[in-house]
Structure 1
C-alpha cells in the first residue's frame, strides 16, 4: 500500500480550506437578523420533514426564500460611486474641524436608506443617507472630528448594501483616499535673527574675501593679488600698493533638528511641544529669508518655503530613531550653516548633543532647546552650547530672544 507524500497531503488540505472558505463566504454576508432567519428556516424544514407538518414547510420555504432574495439583491448590477472633497485639507491643530462633502451616485439598484462610513485617521464618521432611486445623486455635508497634529487618511467611503428586509449585507469601498494635514501650533517669533550671520539682506559675515560687495578695509599688496583690486588713490597717498578687502557675503543658513527618539521625552506631550518649537523657529528663519533645514527622523524639508516647513512638521513622529546618526547625516548634507538648533526633550544627554553639534561648521552658533512641560523656564551656558528649557510655547519668544543675544 503506497503512502501519500507530505506535499500531496498539504495540497489536499489547501483545497479543502479553499472549498470551506467558498462555502462559508456567503454566510459572512448575513446580518444578525439574517442568521436568525436562516436558523429558523433550517429548524422549520427539519420539523416539517420529521412531523410532516405543512405549516412548518411553509415557514421554512418563506424563511429560506427571503434569504435567496437577499442574495439576489446583492448581485444586482450597478455599484454606487462616491466622490469626496475635504475643505480645508490643511489646517492647524486646534482650529475649526474641516468639512467633508460627500457626493453619492447610486447604481442601477435603489439604495434603501444606506449606511455610509467615512474613516478619518483612526476614527470613523457614520451617517444614514435617504432613499436613493436608481442612478440618483445625493450630496451630503459631513462635519469631521477635530484631529491632532499629523497626517490623517480620509476615506475611502464604505457603503453597506442591504436588501429591503435587512437579512444580507455587503460592504463596498468607493472613492479615493485623501490626506488631511494638521500642522502643529506655532508662535510668531518677532525676534530671532539678532546676532546671527545673515546674508545679502542683512548683516555681513566675518569671512573675508578679495571680491564681494561689502567693503571691509584696505591692506598691503601681496604678490599674487589681482591688480584690479588695487585702490590707486589710497596707494598714492600711502606710498605703497593697497588693495581692497571685503566681507564675504553669503546666504545665511539655519539648521533645525528635532530629536525623534521616544526615549528622549518623559511625556509624549513634550514631543508635541518640541515639534511646535522647531516649526516656529524654522518659520521665523524662512521669514527672515534664511536657507532653512528642518528635520526629524527621515522627514526633512529645506529651502525658504513656509509651506514646506509646516507640511513636513505634520509628518514628524516619535519612535526608535537614532537621532545622533541622523544629526551626523544632516551635518554631511548641510554646508555653511550659521546656526544649529537642536530641539530635544529632558532625557537626552547633553554630551551627546554637544558631540552632534561639533559635526557642523566650527564657525556656527549652537543652541539646544529642551521641550520640558514640567521644568522651569531657564537659560544656561554649558560649555560650547547654550541651553534653553521651554515649558510651553508661550515662553519661547522670551527665552529665545535672551538666548540669541
Structure 2
C-alpha cells in the first residue's frame, strides 16, 4: 500500500468515526454542555422576542462553545495506551493485582485526562497530569479484588474532552488482557485415590498374561506363550502351569466436576466444588499422575499444574444437565483410567453418578466428593464406592486421609 493510500485510509477511518460520533452527538454533550446549550437557546428566543442585542450575543456565544466542543473531537492525533498486568494470575482472596497504564499522547494536548480501565464488570479511573503533544506517561492502577474467574482487563479508555468540558467522548485504545483468578486450594498430604505412585504403575483387578504384578498359576491353554510356563511348578504338578498377572497401568486420574446448577443447593457450593476439584488435580499432578480435569466444555489434561489452575478459572455452572454425555466423552478420550473422581453437590443422585462412571469400564476405582457448605463432614463406603461430604475446604485433607485406608 502506498503512503498516499495509507493516508486516505486513515482519513476515511477518522471521517467514519466522526460520522458515528455526529449521529450520537446528544450522548457526547456533557451535563454542563447541555445546560449551556439550553441557556443559549432560551437566551436567543428571549433576545429575539424583546430585541435585546446583548442577549443575542450571549446566546450565540453559549451555542458556539458547544459547537467548538464538537469540533474539538474532530482534531487528529488520537492518543494510544497499553496495559501491563502485575501479576496476571492471582488466587481468590489473596493479594490483588496492579495495572501499569502507558499513555502516548497524540498531536492535541491532553488537559488532565481521565483514564478508565475496565476490570470485568467494573471500572477503575485515574486522572493523569497535563500531557503535551506526543508526550509519554506511565501510571500504576490498583485493581479491585475479584472473584474466581477469567476477567478481561482493558482496553484502556480516555475521556477526550474540550478545554471547557462541553463535549466528552470515550476513546478506547489497546487490547484487553485476561486476568486469571484461581480458586483457593489446600495441600493434600496424600493423593486422593490412595494409589501407589511407582514405576510399575497402579495395579488393578484385571488379569493379564504379561505384566509385572504376579497373581497366580493356572493350567496351560492352547495359545499361551511358553515363556510364561513355570517349569518347576509344572514338574511337581505333572501338567503345564503358566503364570498369571495383575494388569498394571500408568497412573491415570480422571476428575469430573459437575457443572449442572441443579446439583448444588447453593451457589457457594459450586465454588467449593471447584476448589475441591482443583486441589485433587494439583495433588495428582504433583504425584506425577496423568491427570484429566473436566467441567462442562473446559478441559485440562497432562501433568501441568498451570494448565489445571487456568482451566479451573473458567469453570461455570449451566442449567443444562449434560453430565452423563460429558462423562461418556471423557471415557472415550482418556482410556485406561485407574481412578475416576466425581466432584458434585448434595442434590446429584447417586444413580446418575454410577451410570456416568460406567462408561469407564470394569476395574476402575471411584471416589465421590460432594460439596455441601451446610452439611456435616462424613465419609461413606457403601456399595463399594468411597464417598466424602465436604462442608469446608479446610476439612478436605482430613477427610481424604480417612479414605481408602
Instruction: Please say whether Structure 1 and Structure 2 have the same fold, judged by a TM-score greater than 0.5.
Output: yes
- Whether contact under 8 Å (1:192, 1:401) holds in the other structure is no
How do 1:56-205 residues align onto structure 2 when only pairs under 5 Å count?
56-192=55-191, 195-196=194-195, 200=199, 202-205=201-204
CA distance in 2, matches of 1:400, 1:143: 39
Q: Secondary structure at the match of 2:301?
A: strand
- CA-CA distance at 1:354 after TM superposition: 2.2
Counterparts in 2 of 1:229-240, with a 5 A limit? 229-230=228-229
1:332 aligns with 2:332: yes
For the 8 Å contact 2:209–2:244, the answer to whether it is kept is yes
Residues 1:117 and 1:332: Cα distance change in structure 2 (over 3 Å): same
How far does residue 385 in structure 1 lie from its aligned partner after superposition?
2.6
How far is the alpha carbon of 1:221 from its aligned partner? Answer: 4.3
The aligned residue for residue 342 of structure 2 is: 342
**How far apart in 1 are the matches of 2:359 and 2:106?**
62
- The 3-state SS of whatever aligns with 1:358 is helix
The Cα shift of 1:283 comes to 1.1
Q: Using the TM superposition, give the Cα deviation of residue 330 of structure 1 relative to its aligned residue in structure 2, in angstroms.
A: 2.2
What secondary structure, in the 3-state scheme, does the structure 1 residue paired with 2:249 have? coil
CA drift of 1:30 comes to 0.7
- C-alpha separation in 1, matches of 2:200 and 2:118: 48
Deviation at 1:220? 5.1
Return closer, same or farther for 1:201/1:126 CA change in 2, 3 Å cut-off: farther
Deviation at 1:40, TM superposition (A): 1.4
What is the SS of the residue equivalent to 1:84? Answer: strand
5+ residue gaps, structure 2: 1-19
Match of 1:383 in 2: 383
Q: Secondary structure at the match of 2:85?
A: strand
The RMSD of aligned alpha carbons is: 2.3
Question: Alignment partner of 1:313: what SS?
Answer: helix
Q: Does the alignment pair 1:355 with 2:355?
A: yes
**How far 1:135 moved relative to its partner?**
0.3
Deviations 1:54-91 (A, max 9, x none): 21121022112212221221111101100101111111
Deviates more, 1:60-69 or 1:86-95: 60-69
Pair 1:371-2:361 in alignment: no
Distance 1:363 1:237 in 2: 34
Show structure 1 runs of 5+ residues with no match.
Answer: 1-20
2:287 counterpart of 1:288: yes
SS at match of 2:40: helix
Kindly state the Cα deviation for residue 358 of structure 1 after the two structures are TM-superposed: 2.5
* Cα pair distance change 1:295/1:399, threshold 3 Å: same
- For the structure 1 residues 193 and 169, does the alpha-carbon distance in structure 2 shift closer, same or farther, using more than 3 Å as the test? closer
TM-score, normalised to structure 1, is 0.88
Q: Is the 8 A contact 1:151 1:315 kept in 2?
A: yes
TM-score, length-scaled by structure 2: 0.88
